[in-house]
Homo-oligomer: A and B are copies of this chain.
Amino acid sequence: MLHRPRTIPFPPFWLVPDIVVFLIQFIRSLFPAFSKRSRERETERVSEDMESEPTRVMVAVNESTLKGYPHASISSKKAFEWTLKKIVRSNTSGFKLLLLHVQVQDEDGFDDMDSIYASPDDFRQMRERNKAKGLHLLEFFVNKCHEIGVGCEAWIRKGDPTEVICHEVRRVRPDFLVVGSRGLGPFQKVFVGTVSEFCVKHAECPVITIKRSAEESPQDPADD
Chain A residues within CB distance 8 Å of chain B = 50-51, 55, 82, 85-87, 89-91, 94, 175-176, 200, 206-211
Contacts of A211 in B (CB 8 A): 206
User: What are the residues of chain B within 8 A of A55 when measuring CB–CB?
Assistant: 86-87, 89
Copies of this chain in its oligomeric complex: 2
- Of the candidates B50, B90, B91, B176, the one whose C-beta lies within 8 Å of that of A208 is B176
Is A90 in contact with B94, judged by CB distance below 8 angstroms?
Answer: yes
Residue among A82, A85, A86 having the largest count of chain B Cβ atoms under 10 Å: A86
Q: Which residues of B contact A208 (CB under 8 A)?
A: 176, 206-208
Q: Which residues of B contact A209 (CB under 8 A)?
A: 200, 206-207
Q: How far is the CA of A90 from the CA of B54 in the complex (A)?
A: 11
**A-B complex: 9 closest residue pairs judged by Cβ atoms:** A91-B91, A208-B208, A89-B94, A55-B86, A86-B175, A206-B208, A206-B210, A87-B87, A200-B200
Minimum CB distance partner of A175 in chain B: B86
- Most B CB contacts (10 A, CB to CB) among A85, A175, A206 go to A206
A103, chain B: closest CB distance, angstroms: 26
The answer for the CA separation of A214 and B80 in the assembled complex, in Å, is 31
Looking across the interface, which residue of chain B has its beta carbon closest to that of A181? Answer: B206
Measured between alpha carbons, how far is A50 from B86 in the docked complex, in Å? Answer: 9
**A85: B residues at CB distance < 8 A:** 50
> A82: which B residues are within 8 A, CB to CB?
206
**CB <8 Å contact, A90 and B91:** yes
Rounded to whole Å, the gap between the CB of A139 and the closest CB of chain B is 23
Given contacts A206-B210, A209-B206, is CB(A89)–CB(B91) below 8 Å? Answer: yes
